[in-house]
Structure 1
Amino acid sequence: MRLLTTCSHLFQFLLYLVLLLLLSVPNVYSQSVVTSNQVAKEGDGEVVIPCDYSQVNETPLSVIWNEVNESGETNTNIIVNDVMTVNGRYSLRKSPGNADLVITKPVRNDTERRFKCEILLQRRKFIQSDPSMLTVYYLDEPVLSASASSVYEGESVTLTCSKPDGDPDPSITWYKDGQALSTTDTTRFTTSEDALEIHIEAATAADGGRYTCKAESDQFREEGKNSNQIDLKVIYIAITFESQGGTATCTAKGNPIPSSLMIHKNGEMNDKGELTASVKINEEICKADITCSAENGAVSATETLKTCKTVPSSCIALTTGMFFVGVFVGCIGLAAGLIGYFRIKQKKSEAMRSTDTRKHDTYMKYIADTSDENHTYQDLQHTKEETAYINARAGNYHHK
């Protein structure tokens, strides 16, 4: 029993010594260096891979960045350290507790490269971070081509957008005159399964315009990459020849713009213009062969006047009669207006007669005329020169 007790005490003593010895040695393995994977785009100014050693209790003697393989083994020389802080595109950026690796102008070949940060302590002890992997996304510009840049109306044409290289895999969007083009509109054109081709079976004037394609991906959703521009020209000419209101008018439009426009009557030119021409309609014209022709240097077209509507003579007589009735009514209205004007002017003149009896210096005596019962006070107030004020106070009346 005593032997067992002695052995137990000895074991406890040895365990205490081991623990004391371990506590006297710097706890290197409990300290960590933290880094993380990073993502960049090709064309960025720089990408920073962090190295955080703020949990290390000792002041490091040196910081070293190495490139490692998938297994974490160093496969190149030192990239940067405290002595060589700049090495081509790589540089060491230090701050208290941090020693970051800076890579300027990352390129697609930098993707999936792995880097490790090492901290050198006293007694040649190293603390290493886990490998940090760099991913660089990229996207090339698509290239647009066409089977022909200029086609006649009714001909076929195919536009092809080459799918660019990119990570992640890009998608393609078509644009016409700056507006997104719906590739599901099968009434106008057909597209390939991957939407890299647009085939127009019979081109129309509406198909002409400026075409581009744009490559986009999750990492390049906002900016994307635009292709070159192709200006598709559809050569055509269109004529409209109609009669209305006693006139047959012919108009033309096309690409190129029409250079001449002519109306013929039985083969002889009747009128000529650039974009429009017209001829008066009568029974003789309607019985003749009336055509309109136009050309623009590339194509020409002729249109026959299909509807010839003359203005009936009864309508002309009615229009003339209405004109004279309008003149007569206008004259009556003018006369009535003048009469009204002078009557209003006369009333305004009468309204200006004053009955202000306070102006004693202009009073005149009132002499009653008993022979005329209609002779009133107001009649005596008005003169051609000015308003006369009548003294109508008691004692100033005189009778004839």
Structure 2
Amino acid sequence: MDYTVKSFNFITAFLLLAFAALCVVAGDESLDTREGEDVTLKCRFNEQHSTNEFSYYWARWTVGNKYENVAIGNIQLNTNYRLDFRPERGIYDLLIKNASYGRDNGRFECRVKAVGTGADVHQEYYNVTVLTPPQPPQVAPGNIAIATEDKRQELTCSSIGGSPDPTITWYREGSS
């Protein structure tokens, strides 16, 4: 085998691996849901990844950046999660029932791994935002402030909670 054929084989193998890597990695998808509602995270892959050769995982990043499995194969590890596990059709969806800010707000990932090597065959990521209302805004030093001409008057408006963080905007009465 001459140098040209070896180079061609190497370049072809490299390009195939690079293309496969690009096909495997999917970007993060953002999903919003209200607290108490159900939401489905879809994980779809090439159905050639049968249950005999691959293992399947759903995991989440919890508050404090802790990695935690929520499903392994066809077993969900929390009663608020349900699986649609049909690997013969390329389906491994996670249904979050009764979404909770404390439990479900954050990043979820689906992974299909090769048994034996642990290599990622497919992965998908979701950033789930559980929408919660903020508490009513509070004005300090109070809702009624008496201002004196040529004297500085500082007012602060704040609200606690809310997901995503609330935006507070000041308006002067009679203006838009």
How far did 1:13 drift? 2.8
Q: Are residues 170 and 37 of structure 1, via their aligned partners in 2, closer, same or farther at CA, if it must alter by over 3 Å?
A: closer
Q: Are residues 48 and 126 of structure 1, via their aligned partners in 2, closer, same or farther at CA, if it must alter by over 3 Å?
A: same
The letter of the residue matching 2:32 is V
Q: Secondary structure at the match of 1:76?
A: strand
Is the Cα–Cα contact under 8 Å of residues 85 and 92 in structure 1 kept in the other structure?
Answer: yes
**Does structure 1 residue 100 correspond to structure 2 residue 93?**
yes
Give the structure-2-normalised TM-score: 0.58
How far did 1:14 drift? 1.8
Alignment-derived partner of residue 29 in structure 1: 21
Alignment-derived partner of residue 200 in structure 1: none
The letter of the residue matching 1:133 is N
Q: Which has the higher helix share?
A: 1
Alignment-derived partner of residue 135 in structure 1: 129
Q: Are residues 135 and 113 of structure 1, via their aligned partners in 2, closer, same or farther at CA, if it must alter by over 3 Å?
A: same
Is the Cα–Cα contact under 8 Å of residues 33 and 129 in structure 2 kept in the other structure?
Answer: yes
CA distance in 1, matches of 2:82, 2:74: 11
RMSD: 4.0
CA distance in 2, matches of 1:63, 1:82: 5
**Does structure 1 residue 118 correspond to structure 2 residue 111?**
yes
How far did 1:40 drift? 0.4
Alignment-derived partner of residue 4 in structure 2: 12
Q: Are residues 16 and 77 of structure 1, via their aligned partners in 2, closer, same or farther at CA, if it must alter by over 3 Å?
A: same
Q: How does 1:133-172 map to 2 (within 5 A)?
A: 133-139=127-133, 165-167=161-163, 169=166
The letter of the residue matching 1:11 is Y
Q: What are the superposed Cα offsets for residues 148-167 of structure 1, whole Å, 9 maximum, x if unpaired?
A: xxxxxxxxxxxxxxx78544
CA distance in 1, matches of 2:50, 2:131: 37
**Does structure 1 residue 90 correspond to structure 2 residue 81?**
yes
CA distance in 2, matches of 1:68, 1:165: 20
The letter of the residue matching 1:85 is Q
Is the Cα–Cα contact under 8 Å of residues 49 and 132 in structure 1 kept in the other structure?
Answer: yes
The letter of the residue matching 2:70 is I
Is the Cα–Cα contact under 8 Å of residues 43 and 91 in structure 2 kept in the other structure?
Answer: yes
How far did 1:80 drift? 0.3
Alignment-derived partner of residue 81 in structure 1: 72
Unaligned runs of 5+ in 1: 1-8, 143-162, 172-192, 196-400
Alignment-derived partner of residue 31 in structure 2: 38
How far did 1:59 drift? 3.0
Q: What are the superposed Cα offsets for residues 242-281 of structure 1, whole Å, 9 maximum, x if unpaired?
A: xxxxxxxxxxxxxxxxxxxxxxxxxxxxxxxxxxxxxxxx
Q: Percent identity?
A: 16
Q: What are the superposed Cα offsets for residues 277-319 of structure 1, whole Å, 9 maximum, x if unpaired?
A: xxxxxxxxxxxxxxxxxxxxxxxxxxxxxxxxxxxxxxxxxxx
Is the Cα–Cα contact under 8 Å of residues 55 and 115 in structure 2 kept in the other structure?
Answer: no
The letter of the residue matching 1:32 is V
The letter of the residue matching 2:92 is A
Q: Are residues 88 and 111 of structure 1, via their aligned partners in 2, closer, same or farther at CA, if it must alter by over 3 Å?
A: closer
How far did 1:79 drift? 1.2
Give the structure-1-normalised TM-score: 0.29
Is the Cα–Cα contact under 8 Å of residues 116 and 128 in structure 1 kept in the other structure?
Answer: no
Is the Cα–Cα contact under 8 Å of residues 33 and 128 in structure 1 kept in the other structure?
Answer: yes
Higher gyration radius (CA): 1
Q: Are residues 67 and 21 of structure 1, via their aligned partners in 2, closer, same or farther at CA, if it must alter by over 3 Å?
A: same
Q: Secondary structure at the match of 1:87?
A: coil
Q: Are residues 57 and 69 of structure 1, via their aligned partners in 2, closer, same or farther at CA, if it must alter by over 3 Å?
A: same
1:48 to 16, 19, 40: 40
How far did 1:114 drift? 0.7
Q: What are the superposed Cα offsets for residues 318-344 of structure 1, whole Å, 9 maximum, x if unpaired?
A: xxxxxxxxxxxxxxxxxxxxxxxxxxx
Number of residue equivalences: 140
Q: Are residues 87 and 165 of structure 1, via their aligned partners in 2, closer, same or farther at CA, if it must alter by over 3 Å?
A: closer
Q: Are residues 18 and 91 of structure 1, via their aligned partners in 2, closer, same or farther at CA, if it must alter by over 3 Å?
A: same
Q: Are residues 33 and 84 of structure 1, via their aligned partners in 2, closer, same or farther at CA, if it must alter by over 3 Å?
A: farther
CA distance in 1, matches of 2:36, 2:13: 54
